[in-house]
Amino acid sequence: MHTIAIAGNPNAGKTCVFNMLTGMVQHVANYPGVTVETKEAVVRLGNEPVRIIDLPGTYSLTAYSADERVARDVILQENPDLVINVIDASNLERNLYLTTQLMEMGLSLVVALNMSDVANKRGQVINVSQLARLLGVFVVPTQAHRGVGARELKEACLDVLRGELPSRPKHVTYGHPIATLVMQLADRIRADPNLAPAYAPRWLAVKLLEGDPEVLERVGREAADFRPIHSALRAAKRELSEHFREDAATVLAEARYGFAAGAVRQCLEFSRETRRTHTDMIDALVCHRVIGPLILAGAVLAIFKLLFLIAQESAWIPWLGGQWFSPVGAFEQFFAWLGSLLTPLEPAHPLLHSILHDAVIGGVGGVLNFVPLIFTMFVLISILEDSGYIARIAFIMDRVLKAFGLQGKSILALIVAGGLGGGGCAVPGVLATRTLREEKDRLVTILVTPFMNCGAKLPVYAVLIAAFFPHSRGTVLFVLWLSSWCIALGAAWLLRRYVVKGEQEPFVMELPPYHLPTLRGMLMHSGRRTWLYIKKAGTIILGVNLVLWSLMYFPRTPDLSAEALAKAEAGPEAEAQAHLAGSAAGRFGRALEPVSRLAGFTWRENVALLGGFAAKELVIGTLGTAYAMDARDAAPARGLSSMLQRDPAWTRRRAVALMLFVMIYAPCMPTLITIRKETRRLKWALFATAYSTALAFVLAVAVYQLAGLLGWGG
């Protein structure tokens, strides 16, 4: 089976080309850091099965950052039969730098000249045939987001794989002094019986001159005799330094840029005087030092207002009447109806009834109630991603992040983790830190990324906000968004000064042109994310919820305290409360109450927060199960928000303390596993759990107690 690798700069449309060739839908966002792991698919081109690998987006193969290392190592290890180099036609010179490095590797190459429509709008006319002659490979103009050029690209790939089309690129011309030294070193490598069959000697010579530590270590380990190669390398570096008054790595980088600039001069023309584009005019406002942050705050506030208006409010369609016709209300009524169907089971089969009614419907159903809310949030976030606005958020926030000890690219991980208010996940957020070159910058970012409001926390906020802040839902969620950023930045400042010390690197990032999001793209991205949420509710959350239900159901010995017995005499509902309080979970939760009461938490919240260690959605699932078991008649009739609202023990300050605690405390289990994998040390996963939980408790206690002293929310 043939293998094709797709390589290109971030924002060049590389993943769109992958989707165009494979038909698979991958998440596409206009900022670097989304594709930090390779994705692959097996498709048929013509009648032949072909394996296509989507490499991480990278500006070079110098292997300073994790994504650069992944891209280079996959090419070396997989040794693909063909590499498709996706180039942004509107930024030709910058993109050709990566092309020169791929040409140095001597691989079969086809260039997909993407975004040719954007180049045309800017008045840029590229002579495609001239560019193909300069590179020595076939060049296919494409508009991948629209599927333009798909047939031509597939045919070119097939012709190359069949040997019907030349695909070996020309050698990059460095000029006489450099080229001579590269060839001399390549001859030494070619003479080594171990290295010559495994690597392109010319590419290996260039990497050794650049001082690539991984390549140097690999050559030293694999060479039959490293001494003549090492001697030639030292001599070549010395000669380059004396001739150019620069180190060899800088000289080679400048030579590549010179090759790219020369190619652009020969094949790029302007059909008219370059005009100020719509992107430039919009960026004048969006990226303004003062106006930009105000626009960002307004955009996020608008998202939250729209979120509740579309998903939970029914006032916008009053003629349909009632909560039933709000999307979330409809889901609540559906699960209430399912619960009512189980009523005949209770007298004869109380155990089975409790499993289905309390654990499945009360717990998992309580999480699934918020599918409309989650889907709406994903649609709104997708609009910002696909339009190109998130790159502007990174630009706006760069100066702020530096002041708190974070690297500029940290913004990418924080946004992926949910930095826009609830449309992300901490796991890909942690993975997105691979774009950071400095390990200390990366570690600090990893440790604060879970503070963002991921999609799993949104149902917790929605339940409590609906119960205690029904008339200011969007505003409260906006305050929670601001709080998550303030806490993350404050924690980063402390970590940078007392735990992980070191210098910060500068942040360089392009601002891609704005794109009008497509309806199909928004619905597919949002549907895919929502389906993952539903799958999580039906697998992980269901499994853990059943375990927690068993702990809340057994042993069936009621709490025999005098107070509990007095309540039990009041009726079956009080008897159910006594049984629940006497269960294993009830006893565990009550054991923590002397401490948790400082933040306003009872044993029910303690058990729910314990479930949140596995997945944050379980906080609501477990609370739903607890209240379903606690109040036999009320549970199926109304949602958890209504039950909490009618409980006299619940107050606004207790709700705020719980939302704050859920926002900050220990990362969920999948995130902890990812932290352990990315940092390669268990201690950082344990540290993330301990310090975030301690910080969450301190802040929750402070807010709860201070609100009590001020007489607010009692």
User: Is residue 153 one of the residues assigned to a domain?
Assistant: yes
pLDDT score, position 575:
63
Q: Are 156 and 8 members of one domain?
A: yes
Tell me if residue 162 falls in helix, strand or coil: coil
Tell me if residue 635 falls in helix, strand or coil: coil
User: Is residue 634 one of the residues assigned to a domain?
Assistant: yes
Domain count, the chain: 3
Final residue belonging to a domain, choices 110, 126, 161: 161
For residue 614 the two structure tokens come to: 């596995």
Q: Are 132 and 185 members of one domain?
A: no
- Comparing CA positions, the residue from 378, 497, 377, 385 lying closest to residue 444 is 497
Q: Are 111 and 204 members of one domain?
A: no
Q: Which residues of 544-581 are buried (b: 16+ CB within 10 A; e: fewer)?
A: bbbebbebbbeeeebbeeeebeebbeeeeebbbbbbbb
Question: CA 457, CA 659: separation in Å to the nearest integer?
Answer: 9
pLDDT score, position 168:
77
What percentage of the chain reaches a pLDDT higher than 70? Answer: 87
Is the Cβ–Cβ distance between 272 and 123 less than 8 Å? yes
Question: CA 333, CA 356: separation in Å to the nearest integer?
Answer: 17
How many other C-beta atoms can be found within 10 angstroms of the C-beta atom of residue 347? 8
Q: Are 24 and 116 members of one domain?
A: yes
Integer angstrom CA distances of residue 576 from 242, 372, 559, 626: 86, 32, 10, 11
- Decide if pLDDT at 25 tops 70: no
User: Is residue 264 one of the residues assigned to a domain?
Assistant: yes
Sequence-ordered alpha helix ranges (H) in 369-425: 371-387, 389-403, 410-414
Task: Indicate the residue type of 359.
Answer: A
For residue 501 the two structure tokens come to: 């010390």
pLDDT digits (tens, 9 = 90+) for 101-116: 888 888 889 999 998 8
Instruction: Tell me the three-class secondary structure of 317-380, residue by residue.
Output: CCCCCCHHHCHHHHHHHHHHHHHHHCCCHHHHCHHHHHHHHHHHHHHHHHHHCCHHHHHHHHHH
Tell me if residue 204 falls in helix, strand or coil: helix
**DSSP summary character for residue 538:** I
When pLDDT is cut at 50, 70 and 90, the band that residue 636 belongs to is: very low
Q: Are 265 and 342 members of one domain?
A: no
pLDDT score, position 509:
60
Q: Are 124 and 206 members of one domain?
A: no
pLDDT digits (tens, 9 = 90+) for 348-362: 888 888 888 888 887
Residue 148's beta-bridge partner residues? 143
pLDDT score, position 5:
92
**DSSP summary character for residue 88:** E
- The number of C-alpha atoms within 13 Å of 598 and in the hemisphere containing its C-beta is 12
pLDDT score, position 686:
95
User: Is residue 120 one of the residues assigned to a domain?
Assistant: yes
For residue 676 the two structure tokens come to: 């352990």
CA angle, 72 then 77 then 81, to 5°: 90
The CATH number of whichever domain residue 250 belongs to comes to: 1.10.287.1770
Question: CA 436, CA 503: separation in Å to the nearest integer?
Answer: 13
Final residue belonging to a domain, choices 620, 647, 674: 647
For residue 523 the two structure tokens come to: 């619905």
Question: CA 8, CA 25: separation in Å to the nearest integer?
Answer: 18
pLDDT digits (tens, 9 = 90+) for 132-165: 998 989 999 998 878 888 899 999 999 888 887 7
Helix (H) or strand (E) holding 15: helix 14-22
Final residue belonging to a domain, choices 270, 287, 316: 270
pLDDT score, position 691:
96
Q: Are 528 and 632 members of one domain?
A: yes
User: Is residue 455 one of the residues assigned to a domain?
Assistant: no
For residue 684 the two structure tokens come to: 């950082």
Q: Are 203 and 89 members of one domain?
A: no
- Comparing CA positions, the residue from 161, 181, 109 lying closest to residue 140 is 109
pLDDT score, position 481:
92
What percentage of the chain reaches a pLDDT higher than 90? Answer: 20
pLDDT score, position 312:
62
Is the Cβ–Cβ distance between 246 and 96 less than 8 Å? no
How many other C-beta atoms can be found within 10 angstroms of the C-beta atom of residue 120? 14
For residue 333 the two structure tokens come to: 């009524």
Q: Are 105 and 208 members of one domain?
A: no
- Comparing CA positions, the residue from 421, 336, 412, 415 lying closest to residue 373 is 421
pLDDT digits (tens, 9 = 90+) for 259-318: 888 888 889 887 655 555 677 788 888 888 889 889 988 888 888 888 877 776 544 444
CA angle, 276 then 278 then 280, to 5°: 60
When pLDDT is cut at 50, 70 and 90, the band that residue 492 belongs to is: very high
User: Is residue 391 one of the residues assigned to a domain?
Assistant: no
Q: What's the whole-number mean pLDDT along residues 169-193?
A: 84
Residue span of the structural domain in which 253 resides: 176-270
Q: Are 142 and 6 members of one domain?
A: yes
pLDDT score, position 505:
59
Question: CA 330, CA 323: separation in Å to the nearest integer?
Answer: 7
- Decide if pLDDT at 675 tops 50: yes
Is the Cβ–Cβ distance between 102 and 95 less than 8 Å? no
Positive or negative: CA dihedral 429, 431, 433, 439: positive
Integer angstrom CA distances of residue 636 from 214, 354, 463, 551, 630: 61, 12, 16, 21, 12
Is the Cβ–Cβ distance between 666 and 688 less than 8 Å? yes
Q: Which residues of 63-73 are buried (b: 16+ CB within 10 A; e: fewer)?
A: bebbbbbbbbe
Q: What's the whole-number mean pLDDT along residues 414-439?
A: 78
Tokens 């906080």, residue located: 619
Q: Helix 371-387 crosses helix 389-403 at what angle (to 10 degrees)?
A: 90
User: Is residue 63 one of the residues assigned to a domain?
Assistant: yes
pLDDT digits (tens, 9 = 90+) for 48-83: 889 898 888 888 887 666 677 778 878 877 888 999
- Comparing CA positions, the residue from 650, 624, 630, 633 lying closest to residue 558 is 630
Find which of 84-88, 93-97, 619-623 is predicted with most confidence, using mean pLDDT. 84-88
- Decide if pLDDT at 456 tops 60: yes
Is the Cβ–Cβ distance between 592 and 603 less than 8 Å? yes
pLDDT digits (tens, 9 = 90+) for 677-707: 889 899 999 999 999 999 999 999 999 999 9
User: Is residue 169 one of the residues assigned to a domain?
Assistant: no
Positive or negative: CA dihedral 315, 379, 365, 547: negative
When pLDDT is cut at 50, 70 and 90, the band that residue 37 belongs to is: low
The CATH number of whichever domain residue 18 belongs to comes to: 3.40.50.300
Q: Which residues of 377-409 are buried (b: 16+ CB within 10 A; e: fewer)?
A: bbbbbbbbbbbbbbbbbbbbbbeebeebbbbbb
Q: Are 205 and 348 members of one domain?
A: no
Find which of 27-36, 309-318, 391-400, 506-515 is predicted with most confidence, using mean pLDDT. 391-400
pLDDT digits (tens, 9 = 90+) for 537-586: 778 778 887 888 888 888 866 554 545 545 444 445 556 667 777 788 88
- Decide if pLDDT at 337 tops 60: yes
pLDDT score, position 576:
63
Question: CA 476, CA 403: separation in Å to the nearest integer?
Answer: 27
Q: Are 141 and 23 members of one domain?
A: yes
